[in-house]
Structure 1
Amino acid sequence: MKSAFTKSRPLAVAVTALIGLPAMLSGCGTAASSSSTESVSEISVMDYYNNEPDKTFIGDALTACGTKAGVNIKRETVPGKSLISKVLQQSSSKTLPDVLMLDNPDLQQIAATGALAPLADFNISTADFAPGVLSAGTYKDKVYGLAPTVNTIALFYNKDILTKAGVTPPATWDELEAAAAKLTSGDQYGLAFNANPTYEGTWQFLPVMWSNGGNEKNIDTEETAQALQLWTDLVKDGSVSSSALNWTQADVKDQFLAGKAAMMVNGPWQIPSLDKQASLQYGVVKIPVREAGQTVVAPLGGEVWTVPQTGNKARQAKAAEVVSCLNSDENQLAMAKVRNTIPSKTTLAAKFAEENPKLATFTELVKTARARTGQLGEEWPAQATKIYTAIQTALTGKATPSEALKQAQGQ
């Protein structure tokens, strides 16, 4: 959903790690050459990493890949909320950049306009990528974008608080409800999650919905109603603050950091902030399932890199070399480590989890994580809106979970 930030260590050290990438880039894949004889010395890139430290990390990786491809990188960073409108405008005026980064749920919308080139046109390898990652970059059976690293969400817990209360990290819904109730005392809630009326609220609900067999094509089902009943019960009995209806994921993190939530649903991009508080001892487990034995299915977050249809074959070929380079094994591992994200290739998972134990749970979850657009494609935003609308309706007591889902589905 949201790109992960880097680990909380001195910026210079982390940046140096990425600046050292040129020596590693010899292993980068090489895209097919253009048939044009035009000489290309510079290509343009647009992304939404406009805040530090990601702005520098991604910039260094782009520069290194540009050097490998023999071109300078002219980069433009824009605010995330402005990216899609800008891309649609550029597509209409035929001024798209040579390389374009997109949040993975947005790829379908842009690919549907014909603005992107299939990566197969440039012989970019898609081997070893996790199924969910390929699904996120695919439109009508063609891969248009690849993500070097991805993320998802899990359950963080405060080790000291749980130990003091004699509570073990929950693995099922019953265990979660019991643990959250026992851990709720005074101004401390047992659990914090985000249920606000945005795509973030939907994103945080998807693990309980999907793991229970719920389907975004039709949310008016028993499986999804059971998941929403869990969310509703946790708020109704006071184990989760009613403020969850307005919290962002950053707010959830702040509650956890302040000791006002013993557990939270969140992503690995929060790890740098958590690690800054030396007294905080935390662990991470998969979000509980309704019944033991069910597979946890979490949503896949992360950004994909694409090659727009600019009409200039020589520039497209160079752009493809950069996209291929960003997705090399070496770059995936280096970028994942400094940005607290997960390599997209399954062959890298075991090594990465071993070397980065705090990200081991997320690495395991990515194996079965699903792209939000995997089933609905460009229709996902409308259905995501229905999901968070139903969540709001149920958690505010305006309707039962079943009724709220039925109403939202019919909208």
Structure 2
Amino acid sequence: MFRPVIPRAPRITRFWRAGTAALVLAATGCGGEADDNSTDRVTSITVLDYYTDAKEHAQWGELLDTCARKAGTTVEHTSVPGASLVPTVLRQASSGTLPDLLMLDNPDVQQIARSGALNPLDRFGIDSSGLGKGILSAGTYEGEVYGLAPNVSTVALFYNKDMLAEAGVAVPRTWDELKAAAAELTGDGRYGMAVGANATFEGSWQFMPFLWSNGGSEERLDTPQAAEALQLWVDLVKSGSMSRSVLNWTQADVHDQFAAGRTAMMINGPWRIPALHEDENLHWGVAPIPVPHAGKTVVTPLGGEVWTVPRSDSGARQKKAAQVLACLTTSAGMLTAAEQHFTVPSRPEVAARYAEQVPSMGAFVQSVEAARARTSVLGVKWPAAATGIYTAIQLALTGENTPQEALERAQQIATRS
């Protein structure tokens, strides 16, 4: 499963924001109504994504081929590295060579939609009913749905069952329980808890469940609610329950620490499950991330990819691509992708069935119900807030600033852009 490409900074320049929309419309024939709209003539469509891993590319290729056959066409499937996708899309938009079907990491959808490069999906009659509000917002810009996610992901609390049992520690459900459990589980070369707190969007992603679940918001970062959430991480590091090295750890590093027995609990995503299954001696479980107080609802960020139909001068190719997209978002398409990649189907009834089949996904299915898209509040301004958040994490965990001071600086960063 490709991870959400969280560390990536925005790649839409001010020049693009201000002027390239007109170029896109000119290069794509003003929305694709210029030619014969008969889809019978479309024998192949082009597809672009960032699934460069050989296994993932093949799996998605099979699913795309299946949906293309149902639509009466074939696909030319190309993948580029995640960091190259948005620059590639911008170049293609400028030259009028966008693919017929385009996958985007969900935080990038609004930026590309704002440029004029994407079609609103309602023009194709694609059914988006039954999707959760948060999931639908991930593909929405200014009230129009431009993309749909067949599947999504989020984060939860992984724990080592043997370590908790040996220490007589219950799976923590609240912040106080988390601190107590982490302290009890720390010792003999092992930390009780681990997060990825590096200075990238990934660090911000990991912090969002704590911020949001405590009533904090990316709209205003220097609030008491935000400071309380950051103080929790500071307390875990100061007490020795969490390594100071989390300042540099990615989610992959956190996974390695957990798999090696150097931390008893970690925050991570379902894409780690296949690797965890490889060690038969590692007995682990997954639970929702602890909340500030009993009775609170955990609110986590949505990860995953959104499929879109770019604008072009061929109405027929756009319609054919939309038919393939519609197939990807059927219950069967969602379930197939979920089984292959350990993701959560975007339709709740499909997700519930999947959780019954794969119990380790239960916590993720539960968390997705209240999860939010990172761009749902700030839209294209999200990257500035994310930069402020990971900067505050670094300042607070190093002790350079108190959480409140660090978040005041974060707010200044967020409002400068």
Same fold, TM exceeding 0.5? yes
Question: Offset of 1:185 from its aligned partner?
Answer: 0.2
| TM score, norm. by length of structure 1 | 0.91
Structure-1 residue corresponding to 2:3: 3
Structure-1 residue corresponding to 2:157: 155
Q: Is the CA contact 2:395–2:406 (under 8 Å) kept in the aligned structure 1? A: yes
Whether 1:224 aligns to 2:248 is no
Question: What code does the residue aligned with 1:36 have?
Answer: N
1:12-411, aligned counterparts within 5 Å? 36-37=37-38, 39-411=41-413
The whole-number CA distance in structure 1 between the counterparts of 2:348 and 2:257 is 34
Question: What code does the residue aligned with 2:194 have?
Answer: A
The whole-number CA distance in structure 2 between the counterparts of 1:37 and 1:317 is 9
Question: Offset of 1:235 from its aligned partner?
Answer: 1.0
Question: What code does the residue aligned with 2:3 have?
Answer: S
The whole-number CA distance in structure 1 between the counterparts of 2:412 and 2:375 is 20
Question: What code does the residue aligned with 1:336 have?
Answer: A
SS at match of 1:259: coil
Could you list the per-position Cα deviations for residues 231-273 of structure 1 after superposition, in whole angstroms to 9, with x for gaps in the alignment?
1111111111111011110110000000000000000000011
Question: Offset of 1:334 from its aligned partner?
Answer: 1.4
Q: How many residue pairs get matched?
A: 382
The whole-number CA distance in structure 1 between the counterparts of 2:120 and 2:113 is 9
Question: What code does the residue aligned with 1:196 have?
Answer: N
The whole-number CA distance in structure 2 between the counterparts of 1:230 and 1:125 is 42
The whole-number CA distance in structure 1 between the counterparts of 2:141 and 2:410 is 27
Structure 1 runs (4+) deviating above 6 angstroms are none
Unaligned runs of 5+ in 2: 5-34
Could you list the per-position Cα deviations for residues 220-240 of structure 1 after superposition, in whole angstroms to 9, with x for gaps in the alignment?
100000000001111111111
Could you list the per-position Cα deviations for residues 314-369 of structure 1 after superposition, in whole angstroms to 9, with x for gaps in the alignment?
00000000110111110111110121001000121221111111101101111111
The whole-number CA distance in structure 2 between the counterparts of 1:213 and 1:90 is 41
Identity of aligned residues (%): 55
Question: Offset of 1:35 from its aligned partner?
Answer: 6.1
Structure-1 residue corresponding to 2:14: none
| TM score, norm. by length of structure 2 | 0.90
Bigger drift between 115-124 and 60-69 goes to 60-69
Q: Is the CA contact 1:49–1:55 (under 8 Å) kept in the aligned structure 2? A: yes
Question: Offset of 1:186 from its aligned partner?
Answer: 2.4
Q: Is the CA contact 1:3–1:303 (under 8 Å) kept in the aligned structure 2? A: no
SS at match of 1:321: helix
Question: Offset of 1:384 from its aligned partner?
Answer: 0.5
Could you list the per-position Cα deviations for residues 80-100 of structure 1 after superposition, in whole angstroms to 9, with x for gaps in the alignment?
001011111111111100000
SS at match of 1:397: coil
The whole-number CA distance in structure 2 between the counterparts of 1:51 and 1:350 is 28
SS at match of 2:400: coil
The whole-number CA distance in structure 1 between the counterparts of 2:411 and 2:282 is 42
Question: What code does the residue aligned with 2:243 have?
Answer: S
Question: What code does the residue aligned with 1:389 have?
Answer: T
Q: Is the CA contact 2:2–2:51 (under 8 Å) kept in the aligned structure 1? A: no
SS at match of 2:47: strand
Q: Is the CA contact 1:2–1:301 (under 8 Å) kept in the aligned structure 2? A: no
SS at match of 1:53: helix
